[in-house]
Structure 1
Amino acid sequence: MLRRSPAGQASNGPSPEMPSSGDHDERGRERQARWLRRVMRQEGCWARLAASTGLLAAAGAILGSGSQGPLQRWSSAAWVVFAGVSLAWFQEIQLECDRGSFFQTRRANSLLSALLQWRLHLALVLALAGDGTRGLVPLLLWLLPALVAHGLGHARPGHATAAASPFLRAQSSRSMARGELLDLARAAAGEVLGMAPASVPVDVSLAGGLGLDSAGALIFRDSLERHLGPGVRLPAALVFEHPTLLQLA
């Protein structure tokens, strides 16, 4: 009688140490999701950086025009608006640099963050100071809401404002809102589908590709509402209006 050697038995089945194709697919989808989130954030940051630079240049042109008479009041108001919007957008870009999600290297993120945090603010203060007291007061009005929001964001964990829902915290910065909402949507979909949130694909239709029926869509909607926090109401046809998690976010 012929006996099969242990080596022959081991060669018939897949090695337990070798990853299966499903593991490769899951890791590939996870890498793709991370890449998509990074690309979306970078595109938004570059667009805001270009728009902020353009607004700041327009504000400088208005300030340097030296309009007299009735035009002086309107030019001062336009300068304050342009400079304020630029300051707010530059602040968002600085937050992305602090998170390390703007450039690929940490050093580039640190340099741009330091530039936006100190040099730009100093330039705005000096430019507005050149317009007299009228220029400093609007600047303080622009900075006051940011300072208040910054203080509330660093409140104690037990403070009422610190207990805001993840949805409200995400809205504090448009640059991070989509990525955080996508993570919350994956967590809700993972609960309904019985999958780990990291393994839920973001570019596959929930109803068509993942087999989520009408009842499952309602469960997903309710679960997502709980993740977003109290006071958030989503439509019943959410899954069918936005088939993929990427479109939903």
Structure 2
Amino acid sequence: MSDSSTLRRRLRDGDSVVGHWLSVAHPAVAEVCAREADFAVVDTEHAPTDLADVANVARAVESAGEAALLARVADNDPVRIKRVLDTGVSGVLVPMVESAEEARRAVEATRYPPEGVRGIAGSRANDYGRNLAAQVRGDEGTPAVVLQIETDEAVAEARDIAAVEGVDALLVGPADLSGSLGVFGEYESDRFRETVESVLARAHDADTPVGTLATDESEIRLWADYGYDYQIVGTDAGYLADGAERARLTYEDAMR
């Protein structure tokens, strides 16, 4: 498993770590992005990414340097969490968490007994069993746990969610949260800003950092103004699309 200790420590220390979102799930794309990040997130919720893809992305990110890799699971399911952790990722991003009890279940799914419910087996995460005992003891590092706040219900419970032992950070999902509030995509609206500010205040009461996902440069600046502690600053698919569009527009302008 990639070492999660540095990412967990830096989040807790309040460092402005920067990440990239991986939805293409190709190792070469992941390797390129990981060289420009402290961490990356490979998506298995809204992207057609299977476990073999996650394992290959993990290999690519490890080869690129020091970046940690989180996997966003499809839901707060201990089996899904166990399976992505066995690929060797540094931790998980869990969507749609709405209560402290759900937060505890997510943490327990990443911990071996007696602290948690993660099944014990040889896997890539422990060098195919060679380091299994050390991993169970915790010598190989504890997986990072980041929980998504995406609904009005989650906002109300954000302080209790953030205070659960083992939760390293929260991440506001701007699309889902704005949709839940009835202001989808209206990120500069008073209602959305006030809601985000309440999440930040409640999580900070528990000394837990809060981040979010930006999809362009204007959002990076907007989220910085909001006061987020860290950001995922774009998506691999977005980078490809933006680059392709810029090249086409440059060509069309040159040919006029």
TM-score of the pair, normalised by structure 2: 0.24
TM-score of the pair, normalised by structure 1: 0.25
Rg bigger for which structure?
Answer: 1
**Structure number having the greater strand percentage:** 2
